[in-house]
């Protein structure tokens, strides 16, 4: 009986070394991209472009977000005159 065991062991050992190794795990198919994935990519690109443009605009104003930074003059009368002319210009076109 010991001979049978040794012969079985040698045969099974030989068959293991000549066989191709199997991959372990479960085979799962990758999800296919559809139009909604493409739209998510477009939305992400639009958000990133908007962030870059906002950084460029804020850099022009030295990162100041107050309303006074929009008008570089320090005289309130000049700012009021600029605002009044901005409002009156479209009114002239209408009438």
- pLDDT for 3: 55
Higher pLDDT, 13 or 29: 29
Q: Tell me whether residue 14 is in a domain.
A: no
Q: Tell me whether residue 7 is in a domain.
A: no
| Residue 13 in this model has a pLDDT that exceeds 60 | no
- pLDDT for 19: 59
Q: Among 18-22, 28-32, 52-56, where is mean pLDDT lowest?
A: 18-22
- Farthest-apart Cα atoms in the chain, separation: 115
Q: Tell me whether residue 48 is in a domain.
A: yes
When divided into structural domains, the chain yields a total of 2
CA 43 to chain CA centroid, nearest Å? 8
62 within 8 A of 69, measured Cβ to Cβ: yes
Mean pLDDT computed over 9-25: 60
- Domain interval for residue 41: 33-63
Q: Tell me whether residue 90 is in a domain.
A: yes
pLDDT in tens, 31-85: 888 999 999 999 999 999 999 999 999 999 888 887 765 555 555 566 677 777 7
- pLDDT for 24: 82
């Amino acid at each position: 009986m010991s001979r049978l065991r040794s012969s079985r062991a040698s045969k099974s050992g030989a068959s293991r070394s000549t066989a191709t190794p199997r991959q372990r795990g479960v085979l799962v198919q990758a999800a296919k991209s559809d139009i909604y994935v493409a739209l998510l990519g477009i939305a992400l690109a639009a958000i990133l472009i908007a962030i870059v443009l906002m950084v460029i605009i804020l850099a022009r104003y030295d990162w100041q977000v107050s309303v006074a930074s929009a008008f570089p003059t320090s005289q309130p009368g000049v700012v009021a005159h600029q605002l009044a002319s901005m409002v009156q210009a479209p009114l002239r076109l209408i009438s």
